[in-house]
Structure 1
Amino acid sequence: MSPRLELALQNGLSLSQPLTVIGPAPDHNLSALPADAQVVQPFKPFHDHFAAQGFDTVPEADAPCKDAIVFLPRAKALARAMIQRACSRAAGVVVVDGAKTDGVDSILKDVRKRVDVEGPLSKAHGKIFWFQADASAFEDWAAPVAQMVGGFHTAPGVFSADGIDPASAMLLKSLPSKLGARVADLGAGWGFLSADVLKRDDVKSLHLVEADQTALTCARKNAPDQRARFYWADAVTWTAPETIDTVVMNPPFHTSRNADPTLGQGFIVSAARNLTRNGTLWMVANRHLPYETTLNEHFAQVTEIAGDNRFKVLQASRPRR
C-alpha cells in the first residue's frame, strides 16, 4: 500500500465502504483497499492501470460514497476542486494524501481554516490527513463551470489551463494553409491547434486524440465541428480508423515532475504508423529535447521550420515502413 496511507491506517484512520479514491497515479499502491473501491482517474493510461487491477475505474466521479481518498495533483486549483468534489460526495471521512512538492503543506493550512483535521502524519516526503466531509465548508473550491482563456474553454489542472501555450502558438504560425483531407491532432489538449485546423476548407476529417478526459471535454466545446472526431486515448497506442495525411502535435514530455523524452518519441512513432506513405508530421518541442534521432529513424525527411532559444518546430515527411 502507499506508505502514508498505510501509516494512517495504523494510527487511527478507519475507512468505510463504499469507498472512492480520487486521482491516484500508478506509483500509489492500492492493493490493500477493497476490490470494489471506485477509482476516479481521467488520465487514460492511469485509468487503464487501475482498471487492469480490477478496480471500478471511471474518468469522473458519478456516485455518492461513504469515505473518499484524494491524492493531490500539482495544480492547486485542481487539488481544491478534487477536495470539494470529495466532500460533496462523501458522507464520512475525506482523506488527503500528497507530496511536499505537490503543495500538501499549503493545502493542509487552507483546510485547517475550514474544518477540524486529524493527523497529519508525515512520511516519504509528504503528509496525509483526514477530516469529516463537509460540503458547505468547501463550496467555493468547486471548479468553475466555465473557465475561459482567450475565448477558449479550459479547466483546472489541464495543460496550459491559464493561457495559450507559447509552443503551440509557434506551431500554429508555422502550419501551411492546406494540410490535406485527413488530419490528426495527437495530444490535442483543450483543442487550441484543432480549432485552427478546422478553419481550413481542405480538411475533411480531424481526429483529436487526448489522454486527459477533462481536457477532451473542453476540446469538444472549442472545436464544435461535424468534421471533428474525439478519442479519449493514449496517443502512443492509438490507431486511426483511416489513414492520415497530416499529424500536428505538441507532445507532452512528462507525466510527473521529471522529464521523460520517451513520451514524445512514442508520439513520433505513432504519427509515423498512422500517416500515409506521403504523409507529413508537424510538431513543436522544447529546444533541448532529443527528438531528431527518432524522427530520422521513422521519416525520410526532417526539417526544422521555425524556432527560438526555447522551442523548435519540426516538419517530418514520408514515414519509413
Structure 2
Amino acid sequence: MKYSRLFTALDEGLDLSGTLHVLRPPAGYDLAGLSDVSVEATYFPDHQYWDAMGFIGDGVPRAATLVVLPRSKTLARSMIISAIAAGGLVIIDGQKTDGIESIYKDIRKVSAISGVIAKGHGRLFWFEAGATPKWNTTVKSPDGYKTVAGVFSESKIDAGSALLAGHLEDLKGDVADLGAGWGYLSREILTHEGVTQLDMIEAEKTALACAVENTNDPRVTDVWTDALSYTGGPYDTVISNPPFHASRAGDPDLGKGFIATAARILKPRGVFYMVANRHLPYEAELDAKFARVEELSGSGAFKIFRATRPKR
C-alpha cells in the first residue's frame, strides 16, 4: 500500500496530539483515520466534500496547522504566515510543481525543521511556529477593483472578459454571471439599466467576497455554489467566462459543464453569452444544448459565442 506523505510522516514520528487544522485541502486529500481534524475550505466543491466528512471547522484552538500548498505562490505564502501566527506545529505539504522546494528553503533559513518526507514528486515538512520569512504577499489589484491572492487574474482584468464585455447588448431583466470570479463582468453587466436582478454564481468564496465589494449594488445576489450543479433561475441572460483549470492540468469538460448549466437555467427565449480560449472545443456542446449558436467577432486568442433557444 502506498502511503501519503502525511501518513508516512506519522509512521516516522510526527506527533499530532490535539486538533489538526488543515488549510484548503482538495477533495480527496488523505486524512483518513484522523479524528481530531478541522478543515478550512473556500472552494465550494471541496467545502462540500469535507463537510460531508464532518471535518469543516475553524480550528480554534489547534495544536497544529497543515498547509496544503495551492498553485498561487502569493496565496501559499499568505497561508503559511497565517499558520505560523496561529502558533504550535506547522506542517507544509506540496508538489514540486507548486513551489514546495523554494518554500522549504525559505522556511529553513528562519526555523529549525523538525522532519521532512520527500516522495511522490513533492515534500512534506514540519516545524514549530516562530519566525516568519520576509515574504511580500501584497496583491496588486487592477485599478478600481478589490482582489485577493489566489483568485483568477488577481492582478489584471482578464482579456477574454474584457472582450466579452464589449459584446453585451442592451441587457434586461434577470441575469446570471456564471463563474463570476472577482466581479469584473458583473460590474459591466450592471451598467445596463434594464438589468433588474444579477446573480453572481461563484465557487471560490474569496473571489465572491471581492465581487460583492466590487459591485456594491442592491440588484446583486451572491451565490456561493458549484456552477456545474446550480439549479437557480430562470434567467433572461446568462453570461460566462468559464474556467478550464480545476488543477494544473486543463480540463475542457469544465466549460462544457458551464454550457449545460446555462441551457438549464435560461428562460426559453433566454440568451447565453460566453467567451473561451480559441483552442477549446466547445462548439459541439453549444450545438447540442442550443438551437441557435452564433460566433461573434473575437480575437486571435479568444472566441465569443451568443447562443439562444436552449434545448430542454
TM-score with structure 1 setting the length: 0.93
Deviation at 1:92, TM superposition (A): 1.7
Residue of structure 2 in register with 1:224 after alignment: 216
Change (3 A) 1:139 1:129: closer
1:307 is paired with a residue whose SS is coil
The answer to whether the Cα contact below 8 Å between 2:38 and 2:59 also exists between their aligned partners in 1 is: no
The reply to whether residue 249 of structure 1 matches residue 245 of structure 2 is no
Deviation at 1:289, TM superposition (A): 0.9
- Within-5 A mapping of 1:67-78: 67-78=64-75
The answer to whether the Cα contact below 8 Å between 1:85 and 1:142 also exists between their aligned partners in 2 is: no
The answer to whether the Cα contact below 8 Å between 2:271 and 2:307 also exists between their aligned partners in 1 is: yes
Residue of structure 1 in register with 2:303 after alignment: 312
What amino acid is aligned across from residue 48 of structure 1 in structure 2? Q
Deviation at 1:148, TM superposition (A): 2.6
1:33 is paired with a residue whose SS is coil
The answer to whether the Cα contact below 8 Å between 1:211 and 1:234 also exists between their aligned partners in 2 is: yes
The answer to whether the Cα contact below 8 Å between 1:84 and 1:142 also exists between their aligned partners in 2 is: no
Deviation at 1:62, TM superposition (A): 6.5
Residue of structure 1 in register with 2:293 after alignment: 302
Residue of structure 2 in register with 1:108 after alignment: 104
Residue of structure 1 in register with 2:15 after alignment: 14
Count of residue correspondences: 311
1:138 to 112, 132, 154: 132
Deviation at 1:141, TM superposition (A): 5.0
The reply to whether residue 235 of structure 1 matches residue 227 of structure 2 is yes
What amino acid is aligned across from residue 77 of structure 2 in structure 1? R
1:12-40 residue CA offsets vs partner (Å, 9 max, x unmatched): 21112222011111241211222x41101
The answer to whether the Cα contact below 8 Å between 1:183 and 1:206 also exists between their aligned partners in 2 is: yes
Change (3 A) 1:2 1:262: farther
- Within-5 A mapping of 1:190-229: 190-229=182-221
The reply to whether residue 88 of structure 1 matches residue 85 of structure 2 is yes
Structure 1 CA distance, aligned partners of 2:262 and 2:32?
36
Residue of structure 2 in register with 1:183 after alignment: 175
- Within-5 A mapping of 1:47-86: 47-55=47-55, 57=56, 61=58, 63-86=60-83
Structure 2 CA distance, aligned partners of 1:312 and 1:127?
40
2:154 to 158, 161, 175: 161
1:181-236 residue CA offsets vs partner (Å, 9 max, x unmatched): 11000000000000111111100000000000000110111010000000110011
1:67-101 residue CA offsets vs partner (Å, 9 max, x unmatched): 11110011110001111111222x32100000000
Question: Unaligned regions of 5+ residues in structure 2, if any?
Answer: none
Structure 2 CA distance, aligned partners of 1:117 and 1:219?
39
1:46 is paired with a residue whose SS is helix
The reply to whether residue 258 of structure 1 matches residue 249 of structure 2 is yes
The answer to whether the Cα contact below 8 Å between 2:187 and 2:215 also exists between their aligned partners in 1 is: yes
The reply to whether residue 280 of structure 1 matches residue 266 of structure 2 is no
Change (3 A) 1:2 1:263: farther
Q: Please tell me the root mean square deviation across aligned C-alpha atoms, in Å.
A: 1.7
Question: Unaligned regions of 5+ residues in structure 1, if any?
Answer: none
The answer to whether the Cα contact below 8 Å between 1:216 and 1:232 also exists between their aligned partners in 2 is: yes
What amino acid is aligned across from residue 259 of structure 1 in structure 2? G
The answer to whether the Cα contact below 8 Å between 1:120 and 1:129 also exists between their aligned partners in 2 is: yes
Give every structure 1 segment of 4 or more consecutive aligned residues whose post-TM-superposition deviation is greater than 6 Å.
Answer: none
2:132 is paired with a residue whose SS is helix
2:118 is paired with a residue whose SS is strand
Change (3 A) 1:11 1:65: same
Residue of structure 2 in register with 1:43 after alignment: 43
**Most deviating of 282-291 and 63-72:** 63-72
What amino acid is aligned across from residue 3 of structure 1 in structure 2? S
